[in-house]
Amino acid sequence: MLRRLLLVFVVLAAVSIFAAFDPTIYVSVGVGEPDTLDIHQAYDTVSGEVIYNVYESLIAYKKSSLTEFEPRLATEVPSVKNGLIKDGGKTYVFPIRKGVKFHNGSDLTPEDVEYSFERGLLYDPAGGPMWMLWNAIFGVNSLNEMIEKYVGKPVSEIFKDGEPLPQYKDKLVEMYKNVIDPAIEVDGNNVVFKLVRPYGPFLTIMAHTVGWSAVLDKETSIKLGLWDGKPDTWWKYRNIAKEKSPIYATAIGTGPYKLVEWDRTNRKVLLEANKDYWRGEPRIKKVVIMTVSEWGTRKLMLEKGDADDIAIVLEYLDQIRGNKDIQIIENIPSLSVTVVGFSWSVSPNSKYIGSGKWDGNGMPPDFFSDINARKAISYVINYDAVVRDVLKGYGIRVPAALPNTLLGFDPTLPLYKFNVTEARKALEKAWDGKALKVGLKFSIAYNTGNMMRQRIAEMIKTYLEMIGSGKIKVDVVALNWPSYLDAMRKAELPMPIFNWLADFPDPDNFIFTFYHSAGTYAPRQGENFKKFVSAPRKELGGKSLDELIEAARNSSDPDERKKLYVQIQKFAIDNYISIPVYQPVGVRVQRAWVKGWYENPMRPGNDYFELYKQQ
């Protein structure tokens, strides 16, 4: 109790410099903290919120719309009508806005745009977002796939200690010159993107300023130590470690806010208004983005007016109802799903599987490669209780990892059911019942402050230990957000709890992410998962799940895509690839003096340029 009171005092003291109402300062308090500020590696909403307000893309979503766009660093949104989409949808022309300056005073040029996209494609960090542009522009899923396709050898045979073997260097230079560079070209004041085939969602990917479509200052980036722009050095900058990126904790964009400080010790980001912003100076002059894990502290800050908005714990929502100074915005549409996933091949270095053996003190790394092990987990989640008691009704059941508004969603597909008896039967079949005979010990992690994930983890623990009384031991572990992400990316978590927010409003963004061997979650699910979904299956007509996903992605016929997506989901459900728990229904809480907020499920966090405070 003493520690909690001291923590409350320290946090409140940290913001006590702000008056209860100051229209120039905005304080947002959440439960996560940025993972990285490198625009081509950031792939989480907390990092994304900072990047969204510091950088800009060529185009942006028009307020709440998911189908309309407006210009940003480009002066026009390409369309067939204005002649900026050509060649049957394979060429997109973006006229670049003049007179825009980066935060360091440098002028924006078309060369900055070309450099930014090429640097991202050539960096392509593992588990990052660049797969979207690789697929949209080149029809492959990664830099490594392009390298293997062009050179004709596995990447493992081409590189040694990060450097290509001498016999492959010329081929790699040639690949850049003949494939990558011509795909993104400067033509006068235009930047031209040349796709290998028409790709319908291209503009939705370009409109998302979370990182991958943002624009860097080329000259400054090179000075900082990013790719030097030369065709014969790019591999030196490929897939470097997160903390070694020169822009891991630095951000110099053209956006409405400048990064003042990312204080990782006190878990706080400070932004200040860009007075020279080309759309006009923001009304909010200073933004403080804080991480406070404890609900009671966040609630007190909101009630006192020391915070303008906070991350809500839905099961405690009633605690702030009836306060005239607090506005609750409910039933916000989302394009998101929360899923209990599995690592079918946990890293042997993981500390979350105990001994890693069948000795009663651990979990074998491949435990969840047995369908019955995954099936058992599907039966120990009380889905209705999660929606009713934890989410307070602000969630809906979905049969697979696909939100209910996207093409291919089928409400007639079966939902997993809570049934402890069936869970026991499944465990008796998994690995010949060793979990119940020999014993099982492992940990489920959640990110600190995320009450929904914590409750799901505790529920799984409760029922597994009930079934395997004295034999099954599950520890529930809280990790800070960056540590949680790192553990997932390294496949150290045997049962990661995923929450996927759409990158673009298309079913491919969910189906590919969750179920394809090259999807974002594939490394976290392990090699056994990749082998399973890439192998031909009799029940899929001799095709692999990967092949069906690719066919659905590449089809231009909505009816064909829908049919394929239903087939893919049915296979995923039948094989318990992962366990969808719910699709969130959004709730936002803020001080009543906050104005200008608007919903858009693509946006990570606040659009501070549009916000203002008024009593």
Give the H or E element holding residue 26: strand 25-30
Whether residue 293 lies inside any domain: the answer is yes
3-state helix, strand, coil in the chain (%, to 5): 35, 20, 45
Do 155 and 291 belong to one domain? no
Whether residue 448 lies inside any domain: the answer is yes
Looking at residues 33-60, what average pLDDT do you find?
96
CATH number assigned to the domain comprising residue 209: 3.90.76.10
Whether residue 38 lies inside any domain: the answer is no
Among candidate residues 289, 293, 335, the one with its CA nearest the CA of residue 313: 293
Whether residue 175 lies inside any domain: the answer is yes
- Phi/psi for 137 (5° steps) reads -90, -45
The count of domains in the chain is 3
Chain segment 488-513, per-residue pLDDT in tens? 999 999 999 989 999 999 999 999 99
Do 73 and 164 belong to one domain? yes
State which of 197, 217, 244 marks the end of a domain: 244
Q: How far is CA 412 from the centre of its chain?
A: 28
Whether residue 286 lies inside any domain: the answer is yes
Whether residue 249 lies inside any domain: the answer is no
**2 pLDDT band (50/70/90 cuts)?**
very low
Exposed / middle / buried, residue 237 (Cβ in 10 Å: 0-12, 13-18, 19+): middle
Do 78 and 12 belong to one domain? no
Do 150 and 170 belong to one domain? yes
**Domain range spanning residue 327?**
2-31+256-333+586-613
Do 304 and 441 belong to one domain? no
Chain segment 542-601, per-residue pLDDT in tens? 999 999 999 999 888 999 999 999 999 999 999 999 999 999 999 999 999 999 999 999
Exposed / middle / buried, residue 243 (Cβ in 10 Å: 0-12, 13-18, 19+): exposed
Whether residue 294 lies inside any domain: the answer is yes
Do 423 and 459 belong to one domain? yes
Q: How far is CA 477 from the centre of its chain?
A: 21
CB atoms closer than 10 angstroms to residue 19: 11
Chain segment 374-423, per-residue pLDDT in tens? 999 999 999 999 999 999 999 999 999 999 999 999 999 999 999 999 99
Q: What are the CA-CA distances from residue 487 to residues 37, 46, 525, 531, 604 (Å)?
A: 19, 17, 12, 22, 22
Do 554 and 609 belong to one domain? no
Q: Which tokens belong to 537? A: 């299956």
Q: What is the mean pLDDT of the chain?
A: 95
State in Å, rounded, how far the first CA of the chain is from the last one.
36
Q: How many Å apart are CA 114 and CA 93, to the nearest integer?
A: 12
CATH number assigned to the domain comprising residue 605: 3.40.190.10
What is residue 317's predicted lDDT score, i.e. its pLDDT? 96
CATH number assigned to the domain comprising residue 433: 3.10.105.10
Q: How many Å apart are CA 216 and CA 251, to the nearest integer?
A: 9
Do 236 and 185 belong to one domain? yes
State which of 244, 277, 296 marks the end of a domain: 244
Q: How many Å apart are CA 332 and CA 57, to the nearest integer?
A: 25
State which of 244, 276, 307 marks the end of a domain: 244
Q: What are the CA-CA distances from residue 337 to residues 64, 318, 340, 400, 496 (Å)?
A: 20, 24, 10, 9, 14
Whether residue 185 lies inside any domain: the answer is yes
Do 365 and 386 belong to one domain? yes
Do 329 and 407 belong to one domain? no
Do 419 and 522 belong to one domain? yes
527-534 and 545-554 helices, crossing angle to 10°: 70
Exposed / middle / buried, residue 2 (Cβ in 10 Å: 0-12, 13-18, 19+): exposed
